[in-house]
A and B are shown apart, each in its own frame.
Chain A
Amino acid sequence: MLNAIPTRKSRAKATFFIATIVTVTFGMAQPVWSGGMPDEEADQQMPSKAIVGFVKDPDGNIVGDAKVVVSFKSGSTELITRSDPTGHFRIPGFSKDADASSVEVSCSKGGYRQTATLKRRSVASSSSTPIEVDCVLSPE
């Protein structure tokens, strides 16, 4: 975690200059002098949770190359990925405040229909423990 504190410079006297002292947080792998990167990052370097799981059929066989859509109960952003040849999928970053109950997962593939999602409730839930959700597809 990196906190950078901007200081005012008198050179900019424009009236629309409304920046005040802002705590700046930058990503671990991106230095503050990063080109094209945000100047100020408020509350960004929070630990994040990945969402991971498998797409399976009802017998427990993996289903690769299925479309997986992850969304929040609050908020309109959707994240879309596909299961890999081992049936696994991983969405890298979610809010640390998200938990299994606030996340919706759906999956689809030609010749199948979704019949269930299985959420695993982590016992030792830390802010970086992934949320695990499996998605079940049944052959049509």
Chain B
Amino acid sequence: MSVQRRLLIVMALSVGTLASAASLRAEDGLALDGLVTSQAEGPMEGVLVSAKKRDSTITITVVTDRNGRFTFSANKLTPGHYVLAIRAVGYDLAEPVETDVVPTRPATIDLTLRPTEDLAAQLTNAEWLANFPGTDEQKRSLLECMSCHTLERIARSTHVANEWVSVLERMAGYTNNTTPDRPQRRAVERSLAPERARKTAEYLARINLSAGPWTYPLKTHPRPSGRATRVVITEYALPRPSIAPHDVRVDRDGVWYSDFDEQFLGRLDPATGRVTEYPIPELKPGFPTGALDMEIDQAGNFWLAMMFQSGLAEFDRQQQTFRMFPIPPELNSGTMQQSMVMPGHSDVDGKVWTNDVNRHAILRFDLSSGHFDVIDPFKNVASEHVHAPYGMMSDAENNLYFLDFGDQNIGRVDAKTLRVTLYPTPTTYSRPRRGMLDAAGELWFAEFAANQIGMFETNAERFHEWPLPTAWTAPYDVAADDHGDVWAGSMASDRVIRFDRLSGAMTEYLLPQQTNIRRVFVDNSIMPVTVWIGNNHHASILKLEPLD
């Protein structure tokens, strides 16, 4: 073959490639693309690139592919002026980047990253936990700190052990629905046993800056790669920083969320980002506010567990009004707390399940009489650890399944006899937190302390457990979709985990900012499914759309 002929072929191929690329761009409705590079790595895979339109509350994020390229489609970025941001641990944008998106032709903008000057500010809680020296038991004592704030806060502090004791005393007085932005004091204060406080204080003084710079290297987790880069994430900022979305649920009317801190039920319109808030009447004026669990009954009405307000709220979807069900005085106290509610099959027998966190008991509310049954599922069952009924599910007969978050049991309460059966998970002290029971009787749940996804076959009474790929993921919730994938949300790693049941593969989708994930909601109405979560500490709701 002659040189000229070879050249001709190469040129023809090039033209062909260019032509097909151009037509692809047109067909796909491309709005913006570009290449992300750094001096150290060249083109970079797994960099999250976020675009936020000026004056909008909605941020769209995509991830660079193995060639370092990112692409925003036009149905995600409508014309306007956008500010770009990135997330790639160890790096910052070399300079601020803004760009216009116009309807006529796609914009291209290449991004250059430089090494960050403040790596500690970019670490996830999971990275901090992996980096801290100490035993697993010592590190586990920090898991609960993440309910309210990041571990960076601890690492950057300069308290010596003595000071830590008083800090811990103060922390013990805050409710679990507290953030640094809006701390809530408990009505009944708690104080720590000196021995325990001293032990923890000494550990915290070992890992912070009290004795000089950190003695441990700041290692980071790998950036997303492969399948984890094929995703679009939409983040909707809520109108006030003090809103703490906990549970989310999507239906024809929008994205509903419970607010862990303030006394509202919220609804987001995902098309516009507009938020409507429905104020929930207070049951205990002066007590900490906010709701945790939000569930739906067969009539389509929402039920909320009212935490320290002590009781349940039912939201009538037609009337848009609340019916409040306080805990009766003979059961109530200053420490009364309802974190969970399960009205899913209340149509069967007129009963709604909830919990009494303080007594580590189950309550069952009779809708017609207003009576609460108290069920102590651990009557004869002591433990090295404190039991705590948490996540709740009901089956078609309104039998209750609950997760013993304090220890390692899945419990079942028979609706007719109130007999309790406990199934210990194979892994010791797994702390099952929340999950769901599907129509086939498979109960999927997060093993918060064991860093695993769990599944309990309720019919065969068998457990299955799958370790998560990243240590200290601390999964809060697990939801199975209708197509064989299972989704878990982390309170620590800013990642949503996708578990392919058939292949056993796990994909970890990184989110664009620090995200304290609680409930994981899967919208099965579209394929591929979309996953919705609340960012409990940063007043936003996120939608994760996998592209495959």
- Which positions in A face B, CB cutoff 8 Å? 1-9, 11-14, 16-19, 24-41, 44-49, 67, 72, 74-82, 91-96, 98
Task: Judge whether B72 is part of the interface by a CB distance below 8 angstroms.
Answer: no
| Given A36-B405, A37-B357, A94-B382, A31:B144 Cβ within 8 A | yes
Chain A positions within 8 Å of B408 at CB level: 92
| Given A39-B357, A78-B422, A32:B335 Cβ within 8 A | no
Task: Judge whether B285 is part of the interface by a CB distance below 8 angstroms.
Answer: yes
B333-373 CB contact bits vs A (8 Å, 1 = yes)? Answer: 11101010000000000000000011110000000000000
| Given A28-B385, A35-B144, A39-B358, A9:B379 Cβ within 8 A | no
Task: Judge whether B383 is part of the interface by a CB distance below 8 angstroms.
Answer: yes
| Stretch with Cβ within 8 A of A (4 or more), from B36-44, B183-191, B496-504 | B183-191
For residue A75, give the distance in angstroms from its CB to the closest CB of chain B: 4
Chain B positions within 8 Å of A91 at CB level: 424
Task: Give the residue name and chain of the B residue nearest to A5 (CB).
Answer: B191
A29 to B408, CA, bound (A): 13
Chain B positions within 8 Å of A17 at CB level: 187, 333-334
8 A/B residue pairs, CB under 8 Å, sorted by A: A2-B195, A7-B188, A44-B360, A44-B387, A48-B383, A77-B377, A80-B461, A92-B408
Task: Judge whether B323 is part of the interface by a CB distance below 8 angstroms.
Answer: no
Chain B positions within 8 Å of A36 at CB level: 147, 176, 339, 357, 388, 390, 405
Task: Judge whether B406 is part of the interface by a CB distance below 8 angstroms.
Answer: yes
A6 to B407, CA, bound (A): 23
B406 x A13 contact (CB < 8 A) = no
Name A24's contact: one of B190, B390, B407 (CB within 8 Å). B190
A16 to B310, CA, bound (A): 11
| Stretch with Cβ within 8 A of A (4 or more), from B22-30, B151-159, B166-174, B539-547 | B166-174
A37 x B188 contact (CB < 8 A) = no
Give the size category of B's interface with A.
35 or more
Task: Judge whether B381 is part of the interface by a CB distance below 8 angstroms.
Answer: yes
A9 x B188 contact (CB < 8 A) = yes
A30 x B386 contact (CB < 8 A) = yes
B422 x A77 contact (CB < 8 A) = yes
Name B141's contact: one of A29, A35, A39, A93 (CB within 8 Å). A29
Chain A positions within 8 Å of B387 at CB level: 44
B380 x A82 contact (CB < 8 A) = no
A6 x B188 contact (CB < 8 A) = yes
Chain A positions within 8 Å of B377 at CB level: 77
Chain B positions within 8 Å of A95 at CB level: 380-382
| Given A11-B187, A37-B388, A48-B384, A29:B357 Cβ within 8 A | no
For residue B385, give the distance in angstroms from its CB to the closest CB of chain A: 4
B191 x A14 contact (CB < 8 A) = no
In chain B, positions 214-270 with a C-beta closer than 8 Å to chain A are none
Task: Judge whether B419 is part of the interface by a CB distance below 8 angstroms.
Answer: yes
Interface centre among B195, B337, B383 (most CB of A within 10 A): B383
Enumerate the 8 nearest inter-chain pairs by beta-carbon distance, A residue then B residue, closest first: A35-B147, A93-B383, A35-B176, A12-B187, A19-B334, A48-B382, A27-B386, A34-B144
B188 x A33 contact (CB < 8 A) = no
Task: Judge whether B276 is part of the interface by a CB distance below 8 angstroms.
Answer: no
A3 to B196, CA, bound (A): 9
In chain B, positions 373-430 with a C-beta closer than 8 Å to chain A are 377-388, 390, 405-409, 417-424, 428-429
A77 x B420 contact (CB < 8 A) = yes
A16 x B196 contact (CB < 8 A) = no
B196 x A31 contact (CB < 8 A) = yes
B144 x A30 contact (CB < 8 A) = yes
Chain B positions within 8 Å of A1 at CB level: 193
A14 x B285 contact (CB < 8 A) = yes
Name B386's contact: one of A6, A26, A67 (CB within 8 Å). A26
B384 x A77 contact (CB < 8 A) = no
A39 x B381 contact (CB < 8 A) = no
Task: Judge whether B466 is part of the interface by a CB distance below 8 angstroms.
Answer: no
B189 x A6 contact (CB < 8 A) = yes
B428 x A92 contact (CB < 8 A) = yes
Task: Judge whether B148 is part of the interface by a CB distance below 8 angstroms.
Answer: yes
A46 x B382 contact (CB < 8 A) = yes
A33 x B380 contact (CB < 8 A) = no
Name A35's contact: one of B148, B332, B360, B462 (CB within 8 Å). B148
A6 x B190 contact (CB < 8 A) = yes
A91 to B192, CA, bound (A): 30
Name A31's contact: one of B200, B358, B359, B382 (CB within 8 Å). B200
A79 x B421 contact (CB < 8 A) = yes
Chain A positions within 8 Å of B322 at CB level: none
Chain A positions within 8 Å of B417 at CB level: 76
Task: Judge whether B117 is part of the interface by a CB distance below 8 angstroms.
Answer: no
Task: Judge whether B114 is part of the interface by a CB distance below 8 angstroms.
Answer: no
Name A40's contact: one of B176, B335, B407 (CB within 8 Å). B335
A9 x B171 contact (CB < 8 A) = no
| Given A14-B287, A33-B145, A35-B176, A93:B386 Cβ within 8 A | no
